């Protein structure tokens, strides 16, 4: 897989987008799902700057990126990578656009509403979706609440997703795939439930851009 294809794969995983902790006794799965739902239900919008690291199975860093993201439930997301390369992922609730300005190319997919395929949709998930699609566990790490989700179905882009909350605020997300490769995202300058202009989730395809339309798996 080429460097550009690798970047593209991880951008889609994160948009469409989680190890060891000092463990307290884990809560029962049903209780853990309820605790996570208590964090997610009040969330209407989320805006933050992020740092993203891709690590191989031995912990060696393969890639680093930083940028900013905006989310509005249900299903709307804008994920902008600023450095070291530019890339934009936009979901308008119906379709997902992945724009690579260097390639002058945009890939368009129908939004896949399966939360096991689109990690970002976990932020708008319900208790029923969580318990039906994931085995959820909960523990505390130095005062933070850590929720680990393992998909029930094998038809997923990740094998494990962890979400860390400081109080009611999501601060970290870790995703592990079947090869042991991990994506670590740290959020800063976080704003929750503030107004976000709906135009933020609209993507106008630039003139001269090649358009590739794909069917979501």
Buried b (16+ CB within 10 A) or exposed e, 9-33: ebbbbbbbbbeeeeeeeebebeebb
Tokens of 77: 């997301």
Q: Over the stretch 153-206, which tens digit does the pLDDT of each residue have?
A: 777 777 888 999 999 999 998 888 888 888 889 999 999 999 999 999 999 999
pLDDT band of residue 21 (cuts 50, 70, 90) is very low
- pLDDT more than 70, % of the chain: 75
Q: Over the stretch 23-60, which tens digit does the pLDDT of each residue have?
A: 233 444 568 888 888 888 888 899 999 998 888 877 78
CA dihedral angle for residue 75, residue 166, residue 47, residue 132, rounded to 10 degrees: 0
pLDDT of res. 14: 52
Number of alpha carbons in the 13 Å side-chain half-sphere of residue 154: 1
Residue of higher predicted confidence among 14 and 32: 32
User: Average pLDDT of the chain?
Assistant: 78
What are the phi and psi torsion angles at 102 (to 5°)?
-65, -35
**Does 102 score more than 70 pLDDT?**
yes
pLDDT of res. 39: 84
CATH number, domain 3-17+21-214: 2.50.20.10
Distances (CA, A) of 128 to 30, 33, 134, 135: 10, 9, 10, 12
**Does 137 score more than 50 pLDDT?**
yes
pLDDT of res. 29: 52
pLDDT of res. 99: 92
Mean pLDDT of 59-87: 85
């Amino acid at each position: 897989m080429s460097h550009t294809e690798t970047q593209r794969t991880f951008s889609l995983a994160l948009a469409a987008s989680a190890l060891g902790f000092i463990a307290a006794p884990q809560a029962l799965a049903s209780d853990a799902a309820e605790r996570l739902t208590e964090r997610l239900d009040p969330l209407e919008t989320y805006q933050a700057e992020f740092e993203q690291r891709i690590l191989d199975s031995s912990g060696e860093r393969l890639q680093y990126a930083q940028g900013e993201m905006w989310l509005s439930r249900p299903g709307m997301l804008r994920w902008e990578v600023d450095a070291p390369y530019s890339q934009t992922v936009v979901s308008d609730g119906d379709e997902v656009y992945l724009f690579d300005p260097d390639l002058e190319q945009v890939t368009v997919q129908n939004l896949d509403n399966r939360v096991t395929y689109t990690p970002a949709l976990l932020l708008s998930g319900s208790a029923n979706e969580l318990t039906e699609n994931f085995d959820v566990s909960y523990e505390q790490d130095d005062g933070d609440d850590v929720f680990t989700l393992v998909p029930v179905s094998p038809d997923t882009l990740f094998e494990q997703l962890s979400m860390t909350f400081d109080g009611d605020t999501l601060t970290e997300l870790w995703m592990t795939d079947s090869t042991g490769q991990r994506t670590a995202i740290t959020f800063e300058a976080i704003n929750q439930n503030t107004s976000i202009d709906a135009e933020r989730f609209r993507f106008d395809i630039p003139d001269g851009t090649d358009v590739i339309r794909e069917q979501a798996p």
